[in-house]
Structure 1
């Protein structure tokens, strides 16, 4: 490659590197044996920078003399990383192959400059990969001590990568980038010193996960491919004459498109993963990584659970498509989900040969070897059972994988375990859906219960009215009260039917005058015996509530008081205020209740002492009062009487005027 000449800037830059790494080496040697390996690498870097200064000052082509020292410098940092990671001798010997290749190429008198640049570029890529591996393999607590060392060594190799990538692209070493190299290397020395001052604990062994190995192999392969394409493009330009520039551009663009197509190819990725698992690891799967991926796929709510379950299990064997079959009430299995394949229209009987193999033996069945192969399985490869509580909950049929796969015991065991996990998720989702439907029915039944309760109160009120009518039918005042009670009852029933027919939501709370509401509630029971009395000690009090529901609560409490009191007794509704709240007391002198009954049974739903009672009136009343910020209290004594107190927060006229 061409070199545009030495400069004072380059000499100064590399002189700074000599000073920085010589100082670092001296400081490290004083710290004892743990720092010796880094001190050796620092000495090698200082010598390389010193030789660069000599070559810049005295050599006509300085780069020709620096290939060997630079290879030794890179080799020292690679060995340092491998030593700190606990790698064995074989790994160290393998890592030295590239520096040895650089030394051999540099020793050749007519070595192509592009080849030397490509080898140095490969060294830089290998160094960055090792830095990343060392950092990722370190325990979380140990990263605090080694992060600056990884950052410093990584900066050395990253700048080399930048330098030689630019050199291969433009077929010459840029003098400004090369001149800055010494300063950039010198900046790494303080980071290395800071890291060593923290007395870091390095990883006990180099443990590279399959994911890192896969990405590293893909990156390294892409780098070598691009280097080869760059050399080919340079050769085409060299021999192409007038067409050289065109052929070089076409070669580079075509190479980039081909690389992108290969990297995005599922089949190529599957082949690379299979190759790495077969030749670098004893087991096929990285179980921690696979289980995390599988669990995340099932827990994600992006798509439907059936499709995600198929994708999660298909990913274990690189299958591109699948069908999910689930058991139905007709004692058969029907297609319930699909991924990249049409949904099958026919079902599978529970007593078929395939289902018997899956259920009785819990086997992962190759459909080609099934005794009675189903008609829908022509395009499928495997059937994975979904076992739940030792029963076949369903199964997943998978399409053939992207690359040939040996179906050994490890693959079968992983698929069976994954099938059990998927079955639990699918069953949980089915249970949740059933529970949601049950809750809807429960809500409907609860609403029906309240409606029936309100109807029961109206029937009881009209029954009392009919009983008293036999006695007071000739009294004009009673006749007026009876007509008013009938009109109120009829209006309530019409309103209830209207809401049920339209399935309306409860009305919104609005400002409400309590004295008017109490007068309506008492007037609705005017035909009862004993007739309730009303005592208003405060007027004009306003609360925020639903008029119909609050009137129903007060009416229910008055109705209970009337039913619990003999005809000769008394029922009193009293309105007064205290501490900024409205108090409504509904008192009677009936048979009363014990403290134990009030504490344990009064507010329990569906518990009642009445023969025809439903036991939800007081419970519903208390829940609604709590909903609007109020409360319901009760005091009672057997044979003396009962007082229910309703407490409601008041609102000022200015407040509800702004609503």
Structure 2
């Protein structure tokens, strides 16, 4: 072969690269340059690049002058090995310049080693041969871009030439191997120019090192990028292993090979999909990345943005979203929210993937005292194992299957608490996790308190509007009553036709009576209701008798007689009558409505039960006692609310037990009024 044309160009190009990087390596190893940051690492990388250029030049020379017979030179293997070493050194150098941890540096040779392995396979696909070096060049360009952007603005002057030189190396490799993937072969002209491009990068690297650059202090990879990259890498390795297994099954399976191969691939894809969608696997991967790649568990900016978005989102109920947002911080799959009620006790308000217990916690109980006084995030397994640390108290029975109790503190007082189920994967509850949960609990408490205040204000405005409307109606009715009264008087004085006048008088009297009755119902007396001793059996008899014509007809059962309470008779009778009316309307004609009264300690208990359509637990908890919320077409939605408020004024309670299609039971509890005769103890 003559030494001219393309071989001479390729040899000259790579010879220039060899000369440039040998000079660069010698400069970096001089005593005056050794003190510069990363000078030794740059020198070894330059030496590896010079070795690669020498091997490429040797291949070109060997092709131009073949060796004598009997002499075998493994030139292609030498070039591929030298190129893998060169690429690995440049990737490792970029990671070191970015301040990556030493455990990340071992990842640099992975792609070049894979490319070398594939190149040694004679039957390897051309796409795979070019694809792996192409991936290495893309990774190199990404690292160069990260190195430059992560550097402070006042430090970029020292590293810009180095980034330009290293970026040129990987950019040209990207051009070379992307063209090779397109055409299924390496273009000899582009390959020949590769050495010259590398040689032109050496002066830029020397200039940058002469300026004594201050590299960026650390590689900053977000947790999301690490998580998705690790998941993608694991999936790729898994699919490659399954593809190799399927190929082996096809190779040894004979006639069944094709079926076994397709079954293996489909089963592998289904298994991979199930694993990727598994919450437990995702939680374990996140925990592994946080534990082994980062000093802190949380990316606080990302977590706080996610938490705030979850609470501010309008979709769904705020209580349930608060549970989910707090649970996501510790990978918990379920939880429940307890809030302080009007009586000061804490009751379960809502749940997420957990049943609500039929229990309450007093404000002065051991659990609420620990939460409010100490502000702890209580770990229930620790409480059970070390009760002495919790003042000798034992956890409540309803928390047997729970893991954490997170206090919701608002203005240094306990607004409520969130109970969480055990996490999907084992999690060490250190000081960082506890502090994050405390801050999240306070944020959730502020959102819940703001929502409660807004709802209370809306109810107050509705009552104000209702009172204003009632005032106008009363005023108009007074005018109508006055006019009709005057008309009635005039009609009595000037009647001419007795039959006509009598009919008119009957009509006007009936209208006048209806309007007076409406006026009495809408009118509110400014004086407070007078409470007096009241016989409950007589009141219940009147209330039931008022609905004697209803279907179904309510029944009355008095298990105790002569029970007396201190209340306003009209208001209490209106409360009982309203509950009876609701039961009758909710029950079909073939159903049953019963009113029972009994004595329980110092209280009188009135139960009103029906076999109607019933109510769901969520409706009872969230809507039944809300004013201006009604399931009736013409209802105003204040009857049950007003009934409960008046019973609370008397010191009593109104409790509800209901289930869909099983009926409802209202339980009215009133304190008994006892009169003592003078002179008797």
TM-score, scaled to structure 1: 0.52
Counterpart among 104, 107, 110 of residue 98 in structure 1 = 110
d(CA) in 1 for partners of 2:370, 2:364: 10
Q: 1:93 to 1:277 in 2, by over 3 A?
A: closer
What secondary structure, in the 3-state scheme, does the structure 2 residue paired with 1:348 have? coil
d(CA) in 1 for partners of 2:328, 2:464: 41
Alignment of 1:520-539 (within 5 A): none
d(CA) in 1 for partners of 2:171, 2:320: 45
Alignment of 1:261-410 (within 5 A): 261-368=274-381, 369=383, 371-410=393-432
d(CA) in 2 for partners of 1:292, 1:254: 39
d(CA) in 1 for partners of 2:255, 2:100: 52
d(CA) in 2 for partners of 1:405, 1:393: 27
CA contact (8 A) 1:106 1:116 kept: no
Q: Does 1:219 align with 2:232?
A: yes
d(CA) in 2 for partners of 1:412, 1:299: 23
Q: Does 1:429 align with 2:442?
A: no
Of 256-265 and 110-119, deviating more is 110-119
The match for 2:216 is 203
- The alpha carbon displacement at 1:428 in A equals 1.9
Task: Kindly provide the CA deviation profile for residues 442-484 of structure 1, in whole angstroms up to 9, marking residues without a partner as x.
Answer: 66678889x69x99xx9xxxxxxxxxxxxxxxxxxxxxxxxxx
Q: Does 1:419 align with 2:441?
A: yes
What secondary structure, in the 3-state scheme, does the structure 2 residue paired with 1:282 have? coil
d(CA) in 2 for partners of 1:91, 1:265: 28
What secondary structure, in the 3-state scheme, does the structure 2 residue paired with 1:402 have? coil
How well do the aligned residues superpose, as a CA RMSD in angstroms? 5.6
The match for 2:525 is none
d(CA) in 2 for partners of 1:203, 1:279: 22
Alignment of 1:429-448 (within 5 A): 429-441=451-463
Task: Kindly provide the CA deviation profile for residues 584-637 of structure 1, in whole angstroms up to 9, marking residues without a partner as x.
Answer: xxxxxxxxxxxxxxxxxxxxxxxxxxxxxxxxxxxxxxxxxxxxxxxxxxxxxx
Q: Does 1:68 align with 2:81?
A: yes
CA contact (8 A) 2:138 2:174 kept: yes
List alignment gaps of at least 5 residues for structure 2: 1-5, 67-71, 385-392, 480-521, 523-681
Task: Kindly provide the CA deviation profile for residues 53-86 of structure 1, in whole angstroms up to 9, marking residues without a partner as x.
Answer: 6788879998645421320232133134224313
Q: 1:391 to 1:188 in 2, by over 3 A?
A: farther
The match for 1:251 is 264
CA contact (8 A) 1:321 1:399 kept: yes
d(CA) in 2 for partners of 1:433, 1:149: 64
d(CA) in 2 for partners of 1:184, 1:219: 35
CA contact (8 A) 2:280 2:425 kept: yes
d(CA) in 2 for partners of 1:13, 1:247: 52
What secondary structure, in the 3-state scheme, does the structure 1 residue paired with 2:314 have? coil
CA contact (8 A) 1:234 1:248 kept: yes
| Aligned length in residues | 438
- The alpha carbon displacement at 1:412 in A equals 2.0
- The alpha carbon displacement at 1:95 in A equals 4.0
The match for 1:561 is none
What secondary structure, in the 3-state scheme, does the structure 2 residue paired with 1:407 have? coil
d(CA) in 1 for partners of 2:289, 2:76: 38
d(CA) in 1 for partners of 2:458, 2:203: 60
Q: 1:28 to 1:445 in 2, by over 3 A?
A: farther
d(CA) in 1 for partners of 2:399, 2:269: 40
Task: Kindly provide the CA deviation profile for residues 280-303 of structure 1, in whole angstroms up to 9, marking residues without a partner as x.
Answer: 333333333322322232233333
Q: 1:439 to 1:141 in 2, by over 3 A?
A: farther
d(CA) in 2 for partners of 1:437, 1:45: 80
What secondary structure, in the 3-state scheme, does the structure 2 residue paired with 1:349 have? coil
- The alpha carbon displacement at 1:414 in A equals 1.9
d(CA) in 2 for partners of 1:78, 1:45: 15
d(CA) in 2 for partners of 1:223, 1:216: 10
Task: Kindly provide the CA deviation profile for residues 159-204 of structure 1, in whole angstroms up to 9, marking residues without a partner as x.
Answer: 899899x8xxxxxx98347879849989998998999999998533
What secondary structure, in the 3-state scheme, does the structure 2 residue paired with 1:351 have? coil
List alignment gaps of at least 5 residues for structure 1: 1-9, 167-172, 459-500, 502-659
Q: 1:330 to 1:373 in 2, by over 3 A?
A: same
What secondary structure, in the 3-state scheme, does the structure 1 residue paired with 2:106 have? helix
Of 94-103 and 231-240, deviating more is 94-103
- The alpha carbon displacement at 1:310 in A equals 1.2
CA contact (8 A) 1:81 1:131 kept: no
CA contact (8 A) 1:323 1:343 kept: yes
d(CA) in 1 for partners of 2:189, 2:344: 77
d(CA) in 1 for partners of 2:136, 2:394: 54
The match for 1:175 is 184
What secondary structure, in the 3-state scheme, does the structure 2 residue paired with 1:414 have? helix
d(CA) in 2 for partners of 1:309, 1:152: 51
d(CA) in 1 for partners of 2:268, 2:138: 24
d(CA) in 1 for partners of 2:246, 2:12: 38
Q: 1:260 to 1:365 in 2, by over 3 A?
A: same
Q: 1:424 to 1:70 in 2, by over 3 A?
A: same
d(CA) in 2 for partners of 1:191, 1:444: 85
Q: 1:394 to 1:176 in 2, by over 3 A?
A: same
CA contact (8 A) 2:235 2:272 kept: yes
The match for 1:555 is none
Alignment of 1:155-166 (within 5 A): none
Alignment of 1:433-512 (within 5 A): 433-441=455-463
Of 150-159 and 275-284, deviating more is 150-159
The match for 1:644 is none
- The alpha carbon displacement at 1:326 in A equals 1.2
Of 313-322 and 144-153, deviating more is 144-153
What secondary structure, in the 3-state scheme, does the structure 2 residue paired with 1:334 have? strand
What secondary structure, in the 3-state scheme, does the structure 1 residue paired with 2:332 have? coil
Q: 1:106 to 1:441 in 2, by over 3 A?
A: closer
